[in-house]
Structure 1
Amino acid sequence: MTNAGTQPAEAPLVGDHLAMDLLNTQARENGESVDFWHSGDDVLAWLARCGIVPPAGGETLDKPGLLAQAAALRTLARRLVGQRKQDQPIDPAALNAYLHTYLSAPHLDIDSEGRPVLARAVRADPLASLLGPLAESVAQLLVDGNFALVKQCEHPDCVLWFYDRTKAHKRRWCSMALCGNRYKAAQFRKRSAI
């Protein structure tokens, strides 16, 4: 994922699905577990990279609570995705707890060209408004996802997940630039040494 000896600064967004990117906020580097979230500010920065921003009035956000709840949602998502990938039954109760706190209502707005658009206005507390889209993404994956296309990187040192949206559905790596090239270079070195 990075050059030898350097710590990745932020979680890679290579999952091609928000739920996959959520799982990828924990990774492995040089055989060691890496958690990209050490504080509520880390979670907020990651959410902003994903297009999820705190609602107005979010200045009073409980950042330690955000970190704890986001990490718990990530653990839950990893378990549910893993169970679904292995065709095991899932229990939706814990995910529903996140979904039920994420309240929104239809809202008619006007776009930049003056046309009416229907949007959703979030009516939840700041924590639920941030974690709700993540929970909804996990739920949508569990319901609509083709789990033959939910994959983990094939590089032996990588644990990142992705949703294979390639035309032939033959994607093997979290990123060709990261793991694909590393693997191919290692294979070339093996062949050259013979």
Structure 2
Amino acid sequence: MLDSDNAFSDAPFLGDNLALDFINSEYVVEGKRHDTLIDDRSVASWLMRAGLLSDINDRQVPDGLLTEARELRDAAKIVVNAAINSVPVDLAVINRVLELGRPVRKLEWDGDLQQFRIAVYQNATSPSGLLWPIAEALINLVTSDKFEFVRQCEAHDCILWFHDLSKSHRRRWCSMTTCGNRMKVAAFRARKKPG
């Protein structure tokens, strides 16, 4: 079993979307950049926390997972920005993960229910297989009619993304408890400052 480290345990899951949460695995606190993806093991830990991977030991983590995860994260950032700005970009990394990591669907007989069922097997032995759900979430996000509600936190020192699923679609910060409160306090102090 993999143990969580401090970097992993601090990974923000505030994006309301798997792909945005993955992009947010790199974040800024007090002006200092933090990356929760520091080695193959930390990527597997992030995947477990995201609910994409059941318990896995160090020997089962595929080599090259960190490299492919960082490539996917960088490509996902570029794709989200491109979708916001309606410009084309290179989609090779995303399409490679989608192609190589695609789960295998098989028709099987379920003896307990006495009927056929579709079984889906994810390839947990390759980096693309483990990262495929993130690439799938990304393409579903950028092709969704709700993509217009993807936003970057308005805090001047925050780089996190979120999908504003609020009823009014007026969410401004990644989290009200962190950036929202800080920005409101700063605005209050600026208003109260003698001029």
Q: What's the TM-score bracket when you normalise by the shorter of the two chains?
A: 0.7 to 0.9
Matched residues in 2 for 1:123 and 1:35: separation? 26
Contact 1:101-1:124 at 8 Å conserved across structures = no
Structure 1 residue 120: Cα displacement? 2.1
Matched residues in 2 for 1:120 and 1:55: separation? 18
Q: In 2 relative to 1, CA 179–89 (structure 1 residues): closer, same or farther, beyond 3 Å?
A: same
Q: In 2 relative to 1, CA 176–89 (structure 1 residues): closer, same or farther, beyond 3 Å?
A: same
What residue identity is the alignment partner of 2:146? N
TM-score for the superposition, normalised by structure 1? 0.83
Moved over 3 A (4+): 6-9, 54-60, 106-110, 113-119, 123-126
Residue range with higher mean Cα deviation, 67-76 or 144-153: 144-153
Matched residues in 2 for 1:192 and 1:8: separation? 39
Matched residues in 2 for 1:43 and 1:8: separation? 9
Pairing 1:43–2:43 present: yes
Gap regions ≥5 residues in structure 1: 1-5
Identity %: 34
TM-score for the superposition, normalised by structure 2? 0.82
Q: Counterpart in 1 of 2:72?
A: 73
| CA shift digits 1:137-187 (9 cap, x unpaired) | 112112225332110000111010001101111110100011001111111
3-state SS of 1:148 partner: helix
Pairing 1:94–2:93 present: yes
Q: Counterpart in 1 of 2:192?
A: 192
What residue identity is the alignment partner of 2:23? L
Q: In 2 relative to 1, CA 17–168 (structure 1 residues): closer, same or farther, beyond 3 Å?
A: same
RMSD: 3.0
3-state SS of 1:41 partner: helix
Gap regions ≥5 residues in structure 2: 1-5
Count of paired positions: 187
